[in-house]
């Protein structure tokens, strides 16, 4: 009898233990689900919805303040912190450097990344490192580690900028153009073309140039490491291309339009595909996907209609995204795991997001000006629209469009996330959305040459015919 009661008691203990374990698992899952959904218990033991802020900086180790208070355990950058949903002001500072700040909007249960803040050393040392008085253009690569110096001769110069000692090598273009004239007794020919368009491959080794001369327009791919492998595309394919874009990392594949028809060019086999899309007005690409704006086929030419479509290379099926009565500029970007297509008609910006059924409109914005150019940030986190010194930035993180102006009539990319302008010989820098305006160099900066940050260490610009380098970090 005692044995039976003992067995019943043991069974009851097991049942109770299993129930407690199940309850613990259920409660843990519920708590984790609430946390993932953005719910949290604040210091007053009140339940509120929150989001996660992730802060990085260049240089690392900047001191963080949120809403004017120290960020408790989030004392320096390159870490994360849970914040209540709504607006917060984030300020970064570091001894010996200037400061940075921005007001952000934290959304319930979502991650907000601040990965681009840059602090500049206040007392920087500068030195002239190269005479560039004979240079007509300086073309910097997307990673800002390389630059090609062009002039009116057949011998150009490649600079390796991310080296303590500036490295130089020669690029001989004499075999690329019939317009290069070699005077008697001279080893250097005269280059009489005008560079009107440039593009780099993602590996920063190949430079695409569109060059106008008195007689024609030429498209040329320059292999900067092996100049003898460079190719005049116009001569090679005996074709007058309307537009050319490098499609893959190593410039082996191009997308071109000829007579407004879209083709794929394989430089390894030296072949041109059949027509992919007819009557193309504009196109952009991401990986193996091409997005384009083209004239739709009509039974009658009285009412022209344009459409935006998507095509995967190797596929024949075109997915239509939208239609319009006027030509449309397009840009495609990947942000997190979503694909976005931005379209621009006059001053109307419309953005579509890919879904299981195709694309759905997620933003429509009427701008106060008509942009002439639209481009996507290097990681798809923003879209920049511009016309002279008027700019508009769509921040994909917050889905907010902000219009602003640079000072002066010229702007360029300082790095992947910052812009610069030169106004009255003063170098001014901005975040990609126009915030955190700072004057870096106060005089004698040339607006005819690009400014670049290399390897997060050096700032390059041209002054009084010299290439100047300044250290951005403490040595």
Concatenated DSSP letters of 15-36: HHHHHHHHHHHHHHHHHHHHHH
Cross-strand partners of 330: 343
DSSP assignment of 72-125? TT--BSSEEEEEESEEEEEEEE-TTB--EEEEEEEPTT-EEEE---B--BSS--
| pLDDT-based confidence at residue 38 (cuts at 50, 70, 90) | very low
Residues of the chain above pLDDT 70, percent: 87
CA distances from 252 to 248, 341, 406 (A): 7, 25, 36
Comparing CA positions, the residue from 390, 338, 388 lying closest to residue 363 is 338
Distance CA 304, CA 327 (A): 10
**pLDDT value of residue 210:** 96
| pLDDT-based confidence at residue 47 (cuts at 50, 70, 90) | very low
Distance CA 166, CA 181 (A): 31
Q: Does 103 map to a domain?
A: yes
Q: Residues 6 or more apart from 331 whose CB is under 8 A from it?
A: 284, 291, 341, 342, 344, 374, 375, 376, 383
Average pLDDT over residues 396-405: 93
Comparing CA positions, the residue from 149, 47, 9, 102 lying closest to residue 397 is 102
Q: CATH number of the domain that 70 lies in?
A: 2.60.40
Q: Does 381 map to a domain?
A: no
Q: Does 68 map to a domain?
A: yes
Confidence check: pLDDT of 15 > 90: no
Q: Does 106 map to a domain?
A: yes
Q: Residues 6 or more apart from 242 whose CB is under 8 A from it?
A: 256, 257, 258, 259, 260
Q: Does 181 map to a domain?
A: no
Structural domain boundaries enclosing 67: 39-114
**pLDDT value of residue 181:** 59
Average pLDDT over residues 131-143: 95
Task: Specify whether the CB–CB gap between 420 and 399 falls below 8 A.
Answer: no
Average pLDDT over residues 406-421: 93
| pLDDT tens digits for range 140-186 | 999 999 999 999 888 999 999 999 999 999 999 888 876 565 555 55
Lookup: tokens for 35? 């946390």
Distance CA 169, CA 406 (A): 35
CA distances from 268 to 23, 203, 252, 316 (A): 64, 17, 6, 23
Q: Does 466 map to a domain?
A: no
Lookup: tokens for 56? 């990085």
Look up residue 270 and give its DSSP letter.
T
Domain count, the chain: 1
Residue with tokens 């979502």: 110
Q: Does 73 map to a domain?
A: yes
Q: Residues 6 or more apart from 208 whose CB is under 8 A from it?
A: 197, 198, 199, 200, 201, 219, 220, 221, 222, 244, 245, 246, 251
Task: Specify whether the CB–CB gap between 143 and 157 falls below 8 A.
Answer: no
**pLDDT value of residue 45:** 47
Average pLDDT over residues 122-130: 95
Average pLDDT over residues 4-29: 67
Phi, psi dihedral angles at 342 (to 5 degrees)? -100, 135
Q: Does 91 map to a domain?
A: yes
Average pLDDT over residues 385-396: 96
Angle at the Cα of 468 (from 465 to 471), degrees rounded to 5? 175
Confidence check: pLDDT of 39 > 60: no
**pLDDT value of residue 379:** 82
DSSP assignment of 342-387? EEEETTEEEEEEEETTEEEEEEEEE-SS--SEEEE-TTSSEEEEEE
């Amino acid at each position: 009898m005692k044995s039976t009661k003992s067995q019943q008691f043991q069974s009851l203990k097991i049942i109770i233990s299993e129930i407690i374990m199940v309850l613990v698992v259920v409660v843990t899952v519920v708590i984790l689900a609430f946390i993932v959904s953005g719910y949290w218990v604040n210091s007053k033991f009140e339940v509120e919805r929150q989001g996660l802020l992730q802060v990085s900086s260049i240089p690392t180790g900047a001191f963080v303040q949120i809403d004017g208070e120290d960020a408790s355990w989030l004392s320096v950058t390159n870490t994360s912190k849970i914040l209540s949903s709504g607006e917060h002001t984030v300020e970064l500072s570091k001894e010996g450097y200037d400061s940075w700040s921005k007001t952000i909007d934290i959304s319930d249960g979502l991650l907000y990344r601040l990965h681009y803040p840059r602090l500049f050393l206040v007392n920087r040392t500068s030195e002239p490192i190269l005479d560039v008085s004979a240079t007509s253009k300086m073309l910097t690569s997307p990673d800002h580690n390389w630059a090609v110096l062009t002039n009116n001769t057949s011998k150009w110069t490649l600079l390796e900028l991310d080296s303590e000692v500036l490295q130089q090598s020669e690029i001989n273009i004499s075999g690329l153009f019939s317009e290069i004239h070699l005077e008697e007794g001279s080893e250097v020919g005269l280059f009489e073309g005008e560079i009107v368009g440039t593009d780099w491959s993602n590996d920063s080794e190949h430079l695409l140039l569109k060059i106008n001369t008195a007689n024609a327009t030429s498209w040329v791919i320059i292999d900067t490491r092996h100049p003898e492998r460079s190719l005049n595309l116009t001569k090679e394919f005996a074709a007058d291309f309307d537009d050319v874009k490098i499609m893959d990392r190593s410039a082996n594949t191009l997308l071109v339009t000829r007579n407004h028809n879209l083709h794929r060019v394989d430089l390894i086999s030296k072949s041109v595909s059949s027509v992919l899309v007819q009557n193309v007005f504009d196109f952009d690409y991401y990986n193996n996907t091409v997005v384009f704006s083209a004239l739709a086929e009509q039974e009658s030419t009285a009412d022209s209609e344009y459409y935006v479509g998507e095509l995967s290379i190797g596929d024949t099926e075109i997915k239509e995204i939208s239609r319009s009565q006027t030509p449309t500029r397009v840009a495609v970007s990947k942000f997190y795991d979503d694909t976005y297509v931005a379209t621009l008609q006059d001053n109307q910006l419309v953005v579509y997001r890919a879904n299981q059924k195709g694309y759905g409109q997620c933003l429509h914005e009427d701008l106060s000006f008509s942009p002439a150019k639209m481009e996507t940030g290097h990681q798809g986190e923003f879209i920049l629209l511009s016309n002279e010194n008027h700019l508009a930035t769509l921040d994909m993180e917050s889905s907010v469009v902000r219009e602003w102006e640079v000072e002066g009539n010229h702007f360029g990319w300082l790095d992947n996330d910052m812009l610069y302008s030169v106004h009255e010989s003063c170098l001014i820098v901005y975040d990609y959305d126009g915030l955190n305006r700072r004057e870096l160099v106060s005089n004698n900066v040339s607006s005819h040459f690009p400014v670049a940050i290399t390897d997060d260490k050096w700032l390059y610009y041209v002054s009084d015919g010299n290439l100047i380098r300044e250290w951005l970090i403490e040595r």
